[in-house]
Structure 1
Amino acid sequence: MEPTLMNIHHGYNFRDLGGYRTMSGQHLAAHRLVRSGGLDRLSDRDVAFLHEYGVRVDVDFRTRDERQEKPDRLPDSARYVFDPVFSEDKTQVSKTWAEEQQMFSQDPQAGYHNMLRTYRDLALSESAQKAYRQFFDLALGNSDDTLLFHCSAGKDRTGMAAVYVLSALGVDQATIRKDYLATNTFIQPALSEVLEQAKAEGGNANMMQGLTDIWTVYPEYLDTALAAINETYGDMQQYLHEALQLTNRQIQTLRELYLA
């Protein structure tokens, strides 16, 4: 299965995880797990689409400041759950222009190195593990509806949530990596918008590189998180058990709920 976009007109990186094949030969059911970027720009038509699609739970991995600045637009039928992965936006995609200038204008590698540090935290930090555990609790309690999970760009905090849930459901690592890297295709409109704004406001080449690295997913980012998991816990299954405290029974329940 190729990762494909949902029919959302005023948002980016909206994808149903349905259709992915597991190593046991089952498939993820459609209309059950949706990953996405921000919901603040959605039109009335998009909101109605999400209602008809079945979205009844919205898990927001962003910080309190991100949420206040750009609140989600949701159908009345959807329950909003604030589940911050970090207390501040370590992915930097919501930084102000002044903050970006200070970070990126002097060092073309600043964005890249920031993301490597962030991905280690996405695996090992207490706040991230707590947030992802709550995400799994919500998934375990979602028997029939569509659960949507998102951050600002739908690529880092959301990307690792997808890595964890697809791993728990028994999807192979090559497919999980492909889903993760698909963001680079779907995030291009947002990246172009960010770069055009930076250029118009006098951003230099270092700035452009830093912003590109912040808004791109590289294999090294995911590899950093996976290496931290393997070094600390041994492998992904042990991470799910020890860091996210999923029992074998809960993993089996997830597969009963989301696989067909």
Structure 2
Amino acid sequence: MLEQIDTMELIHESRILPIEGGYNFRDLGGIVTKDETIIKPNYLIRTDELSRLNSNDLGLLADLNVKSVVDFRTSEERKTSVDKVPITCENEFHLDIMAANMNAFMEKMQSDDKDYKKMMQQFYTDLVTEENAVKEFQEFFSILQNEENCSVIYHCTAGKDRTGIATALILESLNVDWNTIESDYLLSNKFLAKKYAAYIEQNPTLAEIFLVQAEYLQDAFEQIRKTYYSVEDYLSDKLKVDIDLMKKIYTT
């Protein structure tokens, strides 16, 4: 068991991109599926916002031939933090996942209700069932299923919640085991700790919002199963994912 954990940790560490102006950059390439295939490197890159990238970062991403950037943030978030993209980028897709819900979520955060964990659990279940979110994730997979868009960077503000759900859905579509999916999701805590340390030090309860918890992801996928019977049904019927095509494009 220890050997398996160490091997998984090494795989995760090898996928981290040496980006200076971002906190949560990592490649899905190198993850092994239950079919004993491997996700191709440099095709799917998850991250936090791109506004702080420097010339070295942009050069690295250009070397990876990044062609598309998918931004899950709302228009308000994009106004305050503008993406920087490499010269190879041909497409920028704006998918305002949970736009209305995000506003309501922010208002609730500023209210007297400080049950942040409950807020996050509701946010995660909304991410996989709310009509706007489902529509935008459907569009996301449509983008991914066009190989001409690869390599793809996809992100939100922190690269942990909206991006975390998107990553888990991608990995499910490629038949990756749950332990690996969850391990990748929780890795955000390691890379975001410095970004949010000052906020959490001032108010430790904010860790419920600024960091991720396994049960957030588990709750979302349990809701998928309750609502749509299975994750595979959700992917193929609700999000219109061609699972065979996803495997063809992204695994080897």
TM-score normalised per structure 1:
0.86
**What is the root-mean-square deviation of aligned Cα atoms in Å?**
2.0
Q: Which amino acid aligns with 2:23?
A: Y
- Higher helix content, 1 or 2: 2
The count of aligned residue pairs is 240
SS at match of 2:184: helix
Aligned equivalent of 2:60, options 49, 55, 58 = 49
Q: 5+ unaligned residues in a row in structure 1: which ranges?
A: 200-207
Q: Write out aligned runs for 1:206-217 (5 A).
A: 208-217=203-212
SS at match of 1:7: coil
2:42 equivalent in structure 1: 31
Q: Per-residue displacement from partner, 1:217-260 (whole Å, max 9, x unpaired)?
A: 111101110111011111110111222122xxx21111111101
- Alpha-carbon distance between aligned partners in 1 of 2:140 and 2:20, rounded to the nearest angstrom: 26
2:4 equivalent in structure 1: none
- Alpha-carbon distance between aligned partners in 1 of 2:231 and 2:208, rounded to the nearest angstrom: 26
1:136 equivalent in structure 2: 141
1:233 equivalent in structure 2: 228
Q: Which amino acid aligns with 2:33?
A: T
Stretches of 4+ aligned residues off by more than 4 angstroms: none
- Alpha-carbon distance between aligned partners in 1 of 2:163 and 2:117, rounded to the nearest angstrom: 18
- Alpha-carbon distance between aligned partners in 1 of 2:225 and 2:103, rounded to the nearest angstrom: 22
- Alpha-carbon distance between aligned partners in 1 of 2:95 and 2:191, rounded to the nearest angstrom: 24
How far has the Cα of 1:76 moved from its partner?
A: 2.7
8 A contact 1:229–1:236 mirrored in 2: yes
8 A contact 1:159–1:180 mirrored in 2: yes
- Alpha-carbon distance between aligned partners in 1 of 2:40 and 2:109, rounded to the nearest angstrom: 44
Q: 5+ unaligned residues in a row in structure 2: which ranges?
A: 1-7
Q: Write out aligned runs for 1:1-260 (5 A).
A: 1-2=8-9, 3-4=12-13, 5-78=16-89, 79-88=91-100, 90=102, 102-103=110-111, 106=112, 108=114, 110-143=115-148, 145-195=150-200, 199=202, 208-246=203-241, 250-260=242-252
SS at match of 2:92: strand
Q: Per-residue displacement from partner, 1:83-109 (whole Å, max 9, x unpaired)?
A: 11111463999x6xxx69834xx555x
- Alpha-carbon distance between aligned partners in 2 of 1:37 and 1:144, rounded to the nearest angstrom: 20
Q: Which amino acid aligns with 2:232?
A: Q
8 A contact 1:91–1:115 mirrored in 2: no
Change (3 A) 1:101 1:136: closer
- Aligned-residue sequence identity (percent) comes to 33
How far has the Cα of 1:210 moved from its partner?
A: 3.6
Q: Which amino acid aligns with 1:12?
A: Y
8 A contact 1:143–1:257 mirrored in 2: no
- Alpha-carbon distance between aligned partners in 1 of 2:233 and 2:145, rounded to the nearest angstrom: 19
8 A contact 2:96–2:136 mirrored in 1: yes
Q: Which amino acid aligns with 1:174?
A: N
TM-score normalised per structure 2:
0.89
Q: Per-residue displacement from partner, 1:7-56 (whole Å, max 9, x unpaired)?
A: 10011110000011111110001010000001011112211211112211
How far has the Cα of 1:185 moved from its partner?
A: 1.0
